[in-house]
Structure formats: structure tokens, C-alpha cells
Structure 1
Amino acid sequence: MSNTKFGSPDIAPSEVAERRDDDDLFVLDVRNEDDYEEWAISGSHNLPIYDELLDGDFSSLEAALDEIPEDEEIAVVCVGGITSADAAGFLNERGYDARSMTDGMRGWGRVHQTYDVDERGVSQIVRPGTGCISYLVFDDGEALVVDPSQYVEQYGDMADERGLEIVGAVDTHAHADHVSGGREIADRFDVPYYLHEDDAGSLDEYTPLEDGETIPVGDRELDVLHTPGHTPGSTSFEFGDAILSGDTLFLRSVGRPDLEDGSEDAIREAADDLFDSLQRLADLPDDTVVLPGHFSDEEIRPLATTLERLATDNELFQLVEEDDEELFVETIVESLSDTPNNYQRIKHINWGDEPLDDDAEDLELGPNNCAAN
């Protein structure tokens, strides 16, 4: 055993995200196996030696050098970027080109990547570490932020880069998996914060959304469709030939209906509502572009498809197209997984029942569990 400490240069989590398809970058995760299996960077390699590294013991890393390619760059990942720095330094002294990922998986959870959706006046902001998606919808110098994360500077910077003025923040629903930045954006830019009243909880400083109304942005409008089921106030938005479906409809699943009330009767009632909402979306033109609020392991960027393709690719949406409500509800009830305990805390923060404190960032860390199956 050795208590030697090694230093190493850093690699930003954003660079790791940008190079996810780069065969010259090998991502080595040194966290314990349980942590890795729960939440990890796609395509990374796990060497579960975290506890040993904490004790300054590099013997298992030494023994595993054959698993680490000598002709690739190495990005070493741990929880917070400290233990990985020791591991990367150890590798560098043995001739490897290794860097420690800044802030570890905490840094990974903060990454935001932006993709323009053709020429529709929509930019999609993907958080690969959390599976969350937000949007900048814009026209004629104005922009609305839809489902913003708590890292509101991301949206201000993005608007500045595009020469846009933020004129409002919108949430498709009261989120359970991430802390909304909607109210902070409203305060910072002195603009409205829009949310359906059925999801407003204890909030009083917001502009309630109603089905059928519109939100202006530039010379265009965001059309409001109340699509309850995932939550009572879940809302989707039409913008031209695109639908921002929030957590109502994903590329391979739909939003789970049990986050408000986990009793079976309540789940079945919410699933019935969700079925009706999905039927409403299914009535839109087949070539409508679906822009969801979450993703799992889909590789396409931006995350987008058409309603016509979903009729083939999404099992639960197929049941809606087939008008099989009974099987739809039963499939959801039987396939729901447990929800993380922190989801309730996040909900109460977004409802205004609890203050936003220093724990808010850590509450979001981990895999996303908003899909029904």
C-alpha cells in the first residue's frame, strides 16, 4: 500500500460529452460497482477501486493496466474529481495520457449541450448526465425558455450568443427529477413565468397557462395544449410543425403517472388521463416533429422524431393509436419502477413548499426515472 498522492491535468465534463463518439478517448470510471451500475457515462469502463484509492492504495490499478489502452487519451472519472486525479496522475507516471474529469459525476450532471432543430426556431438543450431536455424557442429577436434547469446562466449565455432577448420562462409541468430554473429566470430577466395552475402547488408568482391559449414570441406563438396524466397540469406546446411534449410523450415511452399519488386507483385514473392526452397528440398531423422533455440512451441528436415514426417505435404510443386503453393502463401499472426518494423533495421545491438550498444540485444527480417503462 502507498499513501503517495498524484496530480494530473483536468478534462472538462463538457469535452467528455462532446467526444462521446470519439474512439480516441477512453473513459475510465473508478467508482464502486454499485454506484457505476446505478448511474454512469455511456460507453465508459468501470474499474471499481474507489475505496482503495481513497486509502492511497494503487495496487489494483497497477494490476489492471492491461485493461487500459496505451494509445488512447484517458479520462478518469470518480464522484467529485479528487480520487480520479490521483488515479490519472498514477497513470501519467506510467506513460499514459490521462486526465481527471473535473468535479467527477457531479460535473457530469451539470453538462448542457445545445442542438438546433433544423430551421424551426428551436434549440434543444440536452443534459447527458441527467437525461433532461430543455428548449429555447425563438423568433424575431425574442426567446422563451421551456423547462429550464437550475443553471440559468446557460440560457442567458445562449440567448446572448444568438442576439436574443428572453421574454419568458415556461415549464411543461412541475418537475420531479430536476429543480426548475423558471422562477429564477423570471426574476433575473423580469419576465413572466408560465405554468399550469394544477401544477402550481403553493406558488403565487406565476402566470397560469390555459388550454387553447397562446404565448407570443417574436412574430410567432407557442400554442398551449393541456395534456394531463404525467401530472395534473402537464402541458404540451405546439410551435409550427413541432410539438414540445414535455413528459407526456417520449421517443420510446410516455411519462409515468404515479409521481403525484402512488396508490393503484390514482395511478389508473392518471393513466386514463394520459391515454386521452396522447390521443389528442396522436390526432396531430403524422409529420409533426416530437421534441420530448427527457431521453434515456437514444443516440440521435437532436432528440426528435415524428408522430408517424412513434407509431412504430413506441410500444405505449402504439396502444394509443390502436385505441386499446385497457392494455395501455395495465402495461403502465405493471411496469412502473420505484421512484427515487429525492423526487418528492424536488417536487416540493418546484411547488414552492421548500426553499432552494445548497442541496438542490445533489438532489438531481443520478439516473432519470420519469418514463413509465
Structure 2
Amino acid sequence: MSVQQWSAADVAKKVINNEELFILDVRNVDAFEDWKIDGHKFEYLNIPYFELLDGVEGILAKIPTDKEVLVVCAKEGSSMMVADMLAEAGLKAAYLAGGMKTWSEYLEPIKVGDLTGGGELYQFVRLGKGCLSYMVISEGEAAIIDAVRFTEVFLNFASEKNVKIKHVFDTHLHADHISGGRHIAAATGATYYLPPKDAEEVVYDYEPLVDGTTVQIGASNIDVGAIYSPGHTIGSTSFVVDSKYLLTGDILFIDSIGRPDLAGLAEDWVEDLRETLYKRYRELSDDLVVLPAHFMIIDELNEDGTVGKRLGELFAENHGLNIEDEGTFRSIVTDKLPPQPNAYQEIRQVNMGKITPAQDEQTEMEIGPNRCAVR
């Protein structure tokens, strides 16, 4: 049997198309339990590589012969060797090129919908990290919101669409991933916007993003309108795009709400969070489609792979929007939080422009699942 090499894009298609896949993950148990490749119909077997050094005979009975089998490790080498052993034993197996490192970095661009006058809105889904970035396109111009650090993906996509990137926004100073926003702006001549209340320590130039800011994209009436919505950070800002979509950053997710503690000010910001979720957002139209900057679990993906849901539905279904008692709300968002993101303090320093780690260091800083939400 020959061994196949699968790209992260190949695996992403399995996730988005809701296909079956059996994954043999040969990383250590703690790494697997902390973070794995999630799929709606995926099955898993976690056997650390060092337990397979003498061969795979002992696990053959646990591996199906009627399903595609993908071997996964941290950076590729171990999974390639185990896939070879499975092939020698007569099984059809593949390995993930680049391992979990590559999976963490892959972005899948998916069209969310059409906008006024022939415009389009795209969501860039980072399946391995739960990050969601956006590109608004209209009449040869584009705006990008919450770009991750893989700037070439956005530059190449804009080139394919034959549009010029004119505006780049970050909804807040991110703490779980490194932003590519100001780097895209530098490469294209676009204007980079950041909420000033999150930018007090940044060491680069930016355009202040304040409540009521409206930026027109193209010559049509598509606009990206800003709404001050603190709580995850003191500067967090949401956007209403074309009166149809509400981009909520890390304040409101499909299945949860944003955590207020990543700058060490949970007690100070919890009231801001509640006011944003229970007052500011309540004044908006229920028909707006919420598009967050992250997703937490694979079940939040729609059938087409996008992440988004009507605001009215979230008011009815999202538990974080239905906690009547303020004391209970405070307790949930300050006392019962999941572990903080990997290297989040250092990531904030990078996004302030204070440190510039090498690419390998940046990869290590971002490794792991999304942890921006209250669970």
C-alpha cells in the first residue's frame, strides 16, 4: 500500500463537507486532550508515537479498514513513519503534511453572502484555531476585519478578486492570536484602524476606530459602521456591514460570550460586558446576522462551513444572553473561566508592536485551541 500525503486544505474539505474520517493522533495524550482536529463525523484513536516504535501490530484491530485513516502528529515526521508502518501492514493510510502546526495555520475562505450593488462578504475560517477573519468587497475595493497573521492569504485573495485593499480593521487588541492587520495595511497602503482605548500602549501609527465611525467601501452604499461594544476589552468595537451583518469581534459568539479577563481586568470590565450584551445589542435589529471573530466548537459551523446566526436567534438560544441575575452573570464571567490562551500576554505585546518574535516563535505562541470565550 502506498502512503498518501494530505494537505490541511484536504482535511478542511472533510470538515466542511461533513464527511467521515478516522484520525490516528500520535501526539502525547495531554496534547491530544487539549487540542485536536475537530470534525462532525470524525473518529479518533490517540496512541503516542513512542508506544509505536516497535510496530503497529498491537493497534491494528482498533483501526477500521472501511474508512479513510489519517495519521496526525505535531509537525509531520512521526505521523509519516506511522503511516508507513500501517501501509506495510496492508492498511490504506495518509498523513497530514506539516502536522498540527500546518492545521493551526490554514485558512479557508468562504463566501457569506452578497451585498448591495454586487458587493460580497467573505469569511476566512481558521478551523484549527477557531479564528474568523472577514473581507468586504465592493466595486474594486476591499476592507479586511480581524485579519490573522498570514498576510499573504489576504493579499493573494484580493489579487484573485482583482480588488485593492483600502481599509483594515481590528475589532480590539487581540490576545489569543497575532494580528496581521497593520502588516497588511503597510503592504498595501491601506488605512489601519484600531480602537484607541485598546491602543494606549501601541508603538505604531493607526487611525482611531471610535463609536459611529463609518467607512464606505467602493462607490456603492456598502459601509462598515462601528459600534463601541466594550467588555472583552475596554476598546472592543463591533461593525454593522451593509445593514445586514453584525461583526461582534470577541464580545458575542454563537454558543457563548466573550471573557473579560485577558488584560487582567475582569472585575472592572464585567459591567461593560453585560451592558454591551444586554443593552447595546438589544437595540439592534434581530435580523442582523452575527459574525464573530472566533468559534469555540465544530457544531457552530453552518452547513456551508461558515459561522453565523441571526441576532434574534442568539437572544433566544445563547445562554450568555439569558442570565437575568447580575450577580450570577458576574460569577460566571469572572469565577468559572477556562484556561487562558497560550502565551496571551506575549501575544498582546506583539500586537502592541513592542516585540517581534521570529516566525517559529509566533507559531508556538499560537498553538492550541481558541480560548476567548466564557464556557
TM-score, normalised by the number of residues in structure 2: 0.91
The yes-or-no answer on 1:343 pairing with 2:344 is yes
State the secondary structure of the residue aligned to 1:64. Answer: helix
Q: Mean alpha-carbon deviation: is it higher for 252-261 or for 159-168? A: 159-168
The yes-or-no answer on 1:305 pairing with 2:304 is no
Give 1:181 deviation, angstroms: 0.3
- Runs of 4+ that moved beyond 4 A: 21-24
The answer as to whether partners of 1:222 and 1:237 remain within 8 angstroms in 2 is yes
Q: Mean alpha-carbon deviation: is it higher for 200-209 or for 136-145? A: 200-209
State the secondary structure of the residue aligned to 1:40. Answer: coil
Which residue of 12, 15, 20 maps to 2:10? 15
The separation in 1 between residues aligned to 2:327 and 2:20, in whole angstroms, is 49
Letter in 2 for 1:155: F
> Which consecutive unaligned segments of at least 5 residues does structure 1 have?
1-5
Letter in 2 for 1:138: I
The yes-or-no answer on 1:252 pairing with 2:247 is no
The yes-or-no answer on 1:57 pairing with 2:18 is no
The answer as to whether partners of 1:134 and 1:146 remain within 8 angstroms in 2 is yes
1:270 maps to which residue?
269
2:205 maps to which residue?
205
State the secondary structure of the residue aligned to 2:284. Answer: coil
The separation in 1 between residues aligned to 2:215 and 2:295, in whole angstroms, is 26
Q: Mean alpha-carbon deviation: is it higher for 303-312 or for 338-347? A: 338-347
The separation in 2 between residues aligned to 1:73 and 1:33, in whole angstroms, is 22
The answer as to whether partners of 1:287 and 1:307 remain within 8 angstroms in 2 is yes
The separation in 1 between residues aligned to 2:357 and 2:342, in whole angstroms, is 17
The answer as to whether partners of 1:199 and 1:351 remain within 8 angstroms in 2 is no
Q: Mean alpha-carbon deviation: is it higher for 66-75 or for 285-294? A: 66-75
The answer as to whether partners of 2:341 and 2:370 remain within 8 angstroms in 1 is no
The answer as to whether partners of 1:249 and 1:292 remain within 8 angstroms in 2 is yes
Measured against aligned partners, the alpha-carbon deviations of 1:270-294 in whole angstroms (never above 9, x if no partner) come to: 0101111122112101111100111
The separation in 2 between residues aligned to 1:85 and 1:7, in whole angstroms, is 12
Which residue of 231, 234, 237 maps to 1:232? 234
Letter in 2 for 1:354: I
State the secondary structure of the residue aligned to 2:276. Answer: helix
Which residue of 32, 37, 44 maps to 1:36? 32
State the secondary structure of the residue aligned to 2:373. Answer: coil
The answer as to whether partners of 2:260 and 2:334 remain within 8 angstroms in 1 is no
Pairing of 1:1-373 with structure 2 (within 5 A):
8-20=3-15, 21=17, 23=19, 25-42=21-38, 43-53=42-52, 56-58=53-55, 61-120=56-115, 121-200=120-199, 201-218=201-218, 219=220, 220-239=222-241, 240-261=243-264, 266-278=265-277, 279-297=279-297, 298-300=300-302, 301-319=305-323, 324-358=325-359, 359-373=361-375
Identity %: 37
Give 1:343 deviation, angstroms: 0.7
The separation in 2 between residues aligned to 1:25 and 1:231, in whole angstroms, is 38
1:3 maps to which residue?
none
> Which consecutive unaligned segments of at least 5 residues does structure 2 have?
none
Q: 1:40 to 1:280 in 2, by over 3 A?
A: same
The separation in 2 between residues aligned to 1:212 and 1:327, in whole angstroms, is 32
CA root-mean-square deviation:
1.7
The separation in 1 between residues aligned to 2:22 and 2:161, in whole angstroms, is 34
Measured against aligned partners, the alpha-carbon deviations of 1:257-306 in whole angstroms (never above 9, x if no partner) come to: 00111xxxx42220101111122112101111100111011232311111
Give 1:80 deviation, angstroms: 0.5
The separation in 2 between residues aligned to 1:275 and 1:17, in whole angstroms, is 35
Give 1:36 deviation, angstroms: 0.5
Letter in 1 for 2:45: N
Q: Mean alpha-carbon deviation: is it higher for 183-192 or for 199-208? A: 199-208
The separation in 2 between residues aligned to 1:179 and 1:41, in whole angstroms, is 21
State the secondary structure of the residue aligned to 2:105. Answer: coil
Give 1:151 deviation, angstroms: 0.5
The separation in 2 between residues aligned to 1:257 and 1:318, in whole angstroms, is 18
The answer as to whether partners of 1:31 and 1:46 remain within 8 angstroms in 2 is no
Q: What is the aligned residue count?
A: 357
The separation in 2 between residues aligned to 1:25 and 1:204, in whole angstroms, is 45
The separation in 1 between residues aligned to 2:356 and 2:336, in whole angstroms, is 33
Give 1:308 deviation, angstroms: 0.9
The separation in 2 between residues aligned to 1:325 and 1:130, in whole angstroms, is 31
The answer as to whether partners of 2:342 and 2:366 remain within 8 angstroms in 1 is no
Q: Mean alpha-carbon deviation: is it higher for 352-361 or for 220-229? A: 352-361
The answer as to whether partners of 1:173 and 1:195 remain within 8 angstroms in 2 is yes
The separation in 2 between residues aligned to 1:7 and 1:197, in whole angstroms, is 56
